[in-house]
Every structure is written in C-alpha cells, then in structure tokens.
C-alpha cells in the first residue's frame, strides 16, 4: 500500500484516524501497531514475519544489554550480526553470487529471493536503538508492544525518515494531540502528496517520454538528467513530508529529512540537507566510530571512502550505486582538501557547479549499467548529435510548466512568502479562510491524477 493510492487515502487512513481518536489513550499504541502491521501485510504479506522477528530480536537485545552489562558487547555484536546478516541475505546475497560467478568463471545458482519492502530502513532504525542502549544514551522501551509500535509505525516504516528512538521515546508513552496539530499534520501530508503526485510522477513521465524519442538530441539528455534529479527529489522529499505530517496527526514529532538540498552551495552542504536522517546515521554510527577526522588526514580520507562505499551499497545491490557512493566520496575529499575555500569565496559559481554535480550524480543513480552511465555522459557532450529537434521541443513545451514549478519548489521562496503573509494581520485572516479551501482543491486534483494515472511508483521502496 502506498500513500498515493485511493485505498490508503480514502479507506485505510480515515479508518485508522477514527479508531485512534475514539479509543482511550492507553490503547492508542496498540491501535497504531495493528494498523501498521496491516499496512505492511497489505503490501508484503509473505515477509511480515521478518518485520515481526526484527521487533522481537531488537527489543530483547536491548533488554539483554541492560540485564547483563558485563556481556553487553557480546549481545551487541550478536545483534548486529543477525540484523545485518538478514539484510545481506535479502538484499545482497544474489549480487554477491553474481559477482563471484563473474570473477571466477563459475556458475553458482542464484536464489529466488524477494527483498522485504523497507528492510534497509527498519534495520537501520532497529540497530540505532540497540547501539544507543549499549552506549547508555537511551533506556529500553517499556514493553515489546511499545517497541514494535515504534519500529513498525506506518508513516515512516517503508521509506523513512530513519527515526531514532531517542527522538520519540517520550512521545511513545505521553504525547499530546490537538485539533491544530492534526490540522498541521494533514496540511503537511497533502503538500507532500502534491509533490509526489503532481511533480514527481509527471517528471518521471517526462523522463520516460524522452527515453523513447526517435532521434535523441543533446538537449533531450540534459532534460532527462534534470527530470531524473527533480523526480527523485520530489518523490522522496514528498514521502518524507507525508511521513512527518502523519506523525503529527498521531502526536509524534519526527525530525526534518530534507532542507532544500538542490540549492546547496557545496556537496558537503548538499548532504547536510539531503536525506538528513540517513547521512546523520552514517556519521554517528560509522564515520565517528571509525575515528572521523580525529586521526589524521589519511585515516580521515579512508573513513570518508568507506562511509560512502557503504552509503552507495545501502541504496542497492548494483555497481551503479557503488559508483554513486564513490563519486560523492571523491567530491567530498576534493572539497575538504582542495577547493572549499574557493567555493566559499565564489557563492554563485558554487551553487551552479554544485547543482550540475548533483545532476550528474543522479544520472549514475538512475542508470543501472556502467556502460549505460558512460553512454549517457558521452551524449551530454556529443556534438555529433543535433542540439534539439521537433520531438524534443514538443516534450519540452508539454512539460515546461512542471519544470518551472520544480525549479520554484526546490528553494524556500514559496515558504518564505507564505510566512510573510501569515505574519501580517490581514494575511492571517485571509489564510484562515482560503488555506483549507486551497488544500481541499489540491487534494481533489491529486485524487483525479491518482485515478487517471498508472505511473505512480515510490522510488525509495526498493531500498
């Protein structure tokens, strides 16, 4: 079940909200647990047992670390071995066998493995819980049902953000709800849904159209790269908006996951703004334990390369993701040790070059074969191709408004204008009337697109 579906919007979510607010507060975690398990079962019935096993494993691992402090390192290592062993089996085992076959010219049979949806997200979330108990940063959940509610909470279960237990530990037991909080959450959800359906889906359709043109042009490849980048951004940031909004509806305050990353002034700045929950996870649980930047430049360079190799692999069992991670590692090393001072002095140049480098990164991210990546980059600068033609111009005209909206939406300009209006006396009164109407109209338009459009993927579900 995806958020941008009729079954979720008009059946599952209203029923969940109704049950949640009708029953006494002490049973609300249980209601969320039941609905979350059903949400996962609806889309991944075969592997719900993996999710339930993860709940039991990680809850009792935390308890064992507290109960047997002298053996807590053993329990931590055992927990990490099982968690990442499962992740390796489901996500990387066939990739490993395929590469062994190619390297040694043998023919081991591949297993028929279907990766459980969201396993990367709930594995990272669960391990952060156990590691934080080991470090003494948090206390274990009150009971296994509360922990299972935290781990399976449907707003962020499938595609994040990666919510650490310390962020919601107090709210698991004592959270407040109000009409204004629910309204704020639903507003955030509808805006995120609009980003997903009206921008990401249409930009994905634009990219698909450009792949099928009879005579490719230089402009068609640049437009395709632009469409890829915007599609991934609006798809994933839209999902994060929806998750954060739904969290507010139920009284949870998840941390922000995106902060206008496409206007970043450097790659370092980009990763402070993009998928914040993942980048901070790798910083806190991999980079810093490896020594971070505390052990000299050579080890810092090693740590950066290792972290980004793992980051690339986290996104998928494919060499393009490995290359994608190493691409960012090289750029970050160059920034840190070569050209950061130059970028700091030339802000306009820094923003433009960073955007182009991000554009290039998502060509690597989206193109599965290494050969295909090389060909794509070659065609960006292939002056034997025509710069444009009638077919390219046709698709550009058809999607020009969507591209302009995508450019406008990548920065905080609309938000700043809204805040300026909302802080004025007249604007505040106008928004009280017009904002609910506008959101209802937006939801109506989104519903129409969902009903009519068969192109409705969530790109990060595969991770």
pLDDT band at 334 (very low <50, low <70, confident <90, very high): very high
Q: At residue 71, does pLDDT exceed 70?
A: yes
| Distance between CA atoms of residues 139 and 134, nearest Å | 9
* Alpha-carbon distances of 169 from 120, 138, 143, rounded to whole Å: 21, 8, 12
pLDDT given for residue 292 in this prediction? 85
pLDDT given for residue 457 in this prediction? 60
Q: At residue 114, does pLDDT exceed 90?
A: no
Cβ atoms within 10 Å, residue 116? 22
pLDDT digits (tens, 9 = 90+) for 367-396: 989 999 999 999 999 999 999 999 999 999
Q: At residue 306, does pLDDT exceed 70?
A: yes
pLDDT digits (tens, 9 = 90+) for 137-152: 999 998 999 999 999 9
Mean local confidence (pLDDT), 333-362: 92
105 is catalytic: no
| Distance between CA atoms of residues 80 and 439, nearest Å | 44
pLDDT band at 195 (very low <50, low <70, confident <90, very high): very high
pLDDT given for residue 158 in this prediction? 86
Task: Give the chain's mean pLDDT.
Answer: 93
| Distance between CA atoms of residues 304 and 286, nearest Å | 10
| Distance between CA atoms of residues 62 and 328, nearest Å | 34
pLDDT given for residue 220 in this prediction? 96
Beta-carbon contacts of residue 217 (< 8 Å; ≥ 6 apart): 385, 386, 387, 388, 389, 392
pLDDT band at 458 (very low <50, low <70, confident <90, very high): low
Beta-carbon contacts of residue 141 (< 8 Å; ≥ 6 apart): 59, 62, 147, 150, 165, 169, 172
pLDDT digits (tens, 9 = 90+) for 84-112: 999 999 999 999 999 999 988 898 989 98
pLDDT given for residue 229 in this prediction? 97
| Distance between CA atoms of residues 442 and 426, nearest Å | 23
From 112, 253, 275, 315, active-site residue: 315
pLDDT given for residue 303 in this prediction? 93
Q: At residue 313, does pLDDT exceed 60?
A: yes
| Distance between CA atoms of residues 358 and 361, nearest Å | 5
Supply the Cα-derived Rg of the chain in whole angstroms.
Answer: 23
Q: Is the dihedral of CA 119, 125, 131, 134 positive or negative?
A: negative
pLDDT above 70 covers a percentage of the chain that reads 98
Tokens for 276?
Answer: 């914040």
pLDDT digits (tens, 9 = 90+) for 168-178: 999 998 888 88
Q: Is the dihedral of CA 236, 462, 244, 135 positive or negative?
A: negative
Q: At residue 461, does pLDDT exceed 80?
A: no
Tokens for 157?
Answer: 């279960």
In this structure, are residues 256 and 271 in contact, taking their beta carbons and an 8 Å threshold? no
* Secondary structure letter of residue 116 according to DSSP: P
| Distance between CA atoms of residues 60 and 140, nearest Å | 9
Task: Supply angle C-alpha 259, 431, 426, rounded to 5.
Answer: 115
Q: How many residues does the chain have?
A: 463
For residues 164, 170, 175 and 181, what is the CA-based torsion angle, rounded to 10 degrees? -50
| Distance between CA atoms of residues 347 and 336, nearest Å | 16
pLDDT digits (tens, 9 = 90+) for 21-52: 999 999 999 999 999 999 999 887 888 999 99
Range with lowest mean pLDDT among 43-52, 77-86, 278-287: 43-52
390-409 and 413-422 helices, crossing angle to 10°: 40
Q: Rounded to 5 degrees, what are φ and ψ at 297? A: -65, -40
């Amino acid at each position: 079940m995806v958020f941008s579906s009729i079954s979720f919007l008009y059946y599952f979510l209203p029923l969940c909200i109704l049950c949640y607010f009708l029953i006494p507060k002490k049973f609300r975690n249980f209601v969320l647990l039941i609905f979350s398990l059903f949400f996962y079962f609806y889309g991944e019935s075969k592997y719900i047992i993996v999710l339930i096993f993860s709940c039991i494993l990680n809850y009792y691992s935390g308890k064992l670390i507290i109960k047997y402090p002298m053996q807590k390192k053993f329990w931590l290592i055992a927990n990490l071995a099982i968690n990442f062993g499962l992740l390796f089996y489901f996500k990387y085992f066939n990739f490993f066998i395929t590469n062994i076959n190619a390297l040694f010219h043998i023919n081991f049979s591949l297993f028929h493995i279907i990766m459980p949806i969201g396993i990367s997200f709930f594995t990272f979330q669960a391990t952060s819980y156990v590691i934080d108990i080991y470090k003494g940063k948090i206390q274990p959940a009150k009971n296994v049902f509360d922990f299972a509610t935290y781990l399976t909470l449907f707003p962020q279960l499938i595609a994040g953000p990666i919510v650490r237990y310390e962020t919601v530990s107090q709210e698991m037991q004592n959270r407040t709800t109000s009409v204004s909080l629910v309204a704020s959450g639903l507003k955030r959800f509808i805006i995120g849904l609009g980003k997903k359906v009206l921008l990401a889906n249409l930009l994905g359709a634009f990219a698909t159209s450009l792949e099928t043109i009879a005579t490719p042009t230089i402009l068609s490849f640049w437009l395709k790269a632009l469409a890829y980048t915007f599609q991934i951004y609006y798809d994933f940031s839209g999902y994060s908006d929806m998750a954060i909004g739904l969290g507010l509806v139920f009284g949870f305050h998840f941390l922000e996951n995106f902060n206008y990353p496409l206007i970043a002034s450097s790659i370092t700045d980009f990763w402070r703004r993009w998928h914040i929950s993942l980048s901070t996870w790798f910083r806190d649980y991999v980079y810093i334990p490896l020594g971070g930047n505390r052990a000299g430049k050579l080890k810092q360079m090693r740590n950066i390369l290792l972290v980004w190799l793992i980051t690339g692999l986290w996104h998928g069992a494919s060499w393009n993701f490995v290359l994608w991670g190493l691409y960012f590692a090289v750029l970050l090393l160059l920034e840190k040790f070569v050209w950061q001072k130059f970028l700091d002095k030339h802000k306009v140049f820094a923003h433009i070059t960073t955007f182009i480098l991000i554009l290039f990164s998502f060509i690597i991210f989206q193109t599965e074969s290494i050969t295909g990546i090389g060909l794509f980059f070659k065609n960006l600068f292939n002056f034997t191709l025509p710069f444009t033609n009638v077919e390219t111009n046709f698709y550009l005209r058809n999607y020009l408004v969507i591209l302009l909206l995508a450019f406008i939406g990548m920065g905080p300009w609309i938000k700043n204008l809204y805040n300026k209006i909302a802080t004025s006396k007249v604007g505040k009164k106008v928004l009280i009337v017009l904002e609910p109407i506008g959101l209802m109209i937006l939801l109506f338009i989104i519903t129409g697109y969902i009903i009519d459009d068969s192109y409705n993927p969530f790109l990060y579900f595969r991770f």
